[in-house]
Amino acid sequence: MTKIDDASLKVETAPVRVSRVFAAPRETVFKAWSSADHIKRWFCPDGYSVPEATVEMRAGGRFEVCMRSPEGVDHWTKGTFTEVIAPERLTIDHHVIDPCGGGPLFSAVTQVSLRDEGAGRTLMEVVQTYSAAGTAQADQMLKGAPEGWRQTLDKLEAEVARMHAGAVRSVVHGAFHLERAYDATAEEVYRALSDEAAKSRWFFGPEGWRLIERTMDFRVGGRERVKGGFDGGVTTTFDAVYHDIVPRERIVYTYEMHLDDRKISVSLATLQIKPEGRGRTRLTVDEQGAFLDGYDDAGARERGTSELLDKIAASLRS
């Protein structure tokens, strides 16, 4: 059944419901949704590819996928995770973008639930609800959605089998450089980086993140650990070791990042503090990272660090 809202010229189309039983634990099936590296391998129908994707597996995190047609036309879906409960359920609110006009072609809410069927098998059920602009192109795409999902789940089945057969081993390297100028002295900026109480005012996760553990031993050879959890149940752990400290000038450390029990990266960070006169100080951050075993950073580390540098400015003003 189709319902037409004359006021908004929107069309609500009956949901598409699909299901599939996978010969793998639900943790593995859930993980196939959790990173761009996995999504690129399966999130498209036959003949299409996924050259770009951003997957931030947390409530409020981005879910953006580019599906490229055999003719080379890019079809983007852009949205956010509104619910993440590992490894049971996730919900994505997203828009399919018109490849010609650039605006939303139609909107969809995708709900995924995973149920343990025993004997290492998982039932995945997908319900996708649509709210579409009443165009012929949107109507055609929605009519093809059930078959598109069938082909897509075939690819997901192959990806889950690949994941279940053995761990993905890989290393991808990345680097970035960031700078901020603060209306504060070098001493004040150094304190924000080196004092545990001062650092706790800005060194924390994004919205939805809650602190579980924080320790800081600021000295050469000392360690720092910050652990927190998101509303969906995923935990993050930052484990650092300080290697070089020149007070008010330079801090060099390495750190590991974990998502739950999985080590996703090892990084080297160099922070340099440079007075610029009249109570202003420039902080430069250079970081090189090794992202491990299929984890696709997709620029998230640089964006997250940039947000933390903005939080330092707010902490210095307060």
What are the sequence ranges of the domains in the chain? 2-165, 171-317
Residues of the chain below pLDDT 50: 1-9
Give the model's pLDDT for residue 299. 84
Q: What 3-state DSSP class applies to 254?
A: strand
Instruction: Say if residues 98 and 105 touch (Cβ distance below 8 Å).
Output: yes
Per-residue pLDDT, 199: 98
Dihedral of CA 191/195/198/202: which sign? positive
Q: Rounded distance, CA 203 to CA 215, Å?
A: 12
Residue 74's pLDDT is 92
**In this predicted structure, what is the pLDDT of residue 297?**
77
Two tokens at 280? 């202003």
pLDDT score for 162: 85
User: 2-165 with 171-317: one CATH topology?
Assistant: yes
pLDDT of residue 2: 41
Each residue of 221-278: pLDDT tens digit? 999 999 999 876 788 999 999 999 999 999 999 999 998 888 999 999 999 999 998 8
Close Cβ partners of 133 (under 8 Å, ≥ 6 residues apart): 9, 10, 11, 104, 105, 106
pLDDT value at residue 168? 61
CATH class for the domain made up of 2-165: alpha beta
The top-level CATH class assigned to 171-317 is alpha beta
Q: Specify the pLDDT at position 104.
A: 80
